[in-house]
Structure 1
Amino acid sequence: MTKAASETRTVVVEREFAHPPEKLWRALTQPHLIAEWLMKNDFAPKVDHRFKLEADWGVVDCQVVTIEPNKTLSYSWAALGLDSVVTWTLTPTATGTHLRMEQTGFTADQTRAYQGARYGWPKFFDGLEQTLAGLD
């Protein structure tokens, strides 16, 4: 039983965007753009920066872990008993950018949070697509 409790699950969403990595990076790191597709926030692209994401269901406490402009961004994501890490990886392609989002750290007893993330992230990606379409 203890082995199962220590195992964690991961949610991965990947999508091709017809935009260069620099444009996606802006949408992932500029607070006013993050607010358009994800949640209200006080993000700053600096390692160790603590920030909050605010939604109608509550607040997510985050801290920037890794930042490599136009390539990788990761931050802790703590909300409703969930301690996880969200990592964004941007890979240039012939037609734009391959974006991979990985959220790790769901324990076996966090089925609701895990299912919520599996449901929610693709919708956030749809919002990201709309935000990118509106950028120059």
Structure 2
Amino acid sequence: MTSDDTALFFHKPNKWLNRAKDVLNKEELPSTGIEKAKDMFKGIRKQTLDSLPRGKDYLALVDNEKCIGCTQCVYFCNFASIDMISWDLMARTSQFESKKALILEDTCTGCTLCVFACPVEAITMEAKT
């Protein structure tokens, strides 16, 4: 960004928006940046979900030895199919429980989002039996 662009951004926001509009192939910009961000997020989410292999024949499976309880899978699951539970009964006496991911089989769609979200590769997809 050049100094002219910086000055344009801070002192003349309407001109900056017009410039941004030109960059975005002259698409109509909403009145606020938040609206644009929401629209972009909805579009990206839909494209992501549509492109994922969705198979009712597959189910996510968690390796409790590898799971570190980071909850990334919970945040990325669009179907609320993952819960965090304590597998260690001794942990219930401490202030901080060691929780692990639990896949809820009845709502898991086999979309694989949790597999990609897991930083330690504790989740795999297995064929339903």
Q: TM-score, normalised by structure 1?
A: 0.26
Higher Rg: 2
More helix per residue: 1 or 2?
2
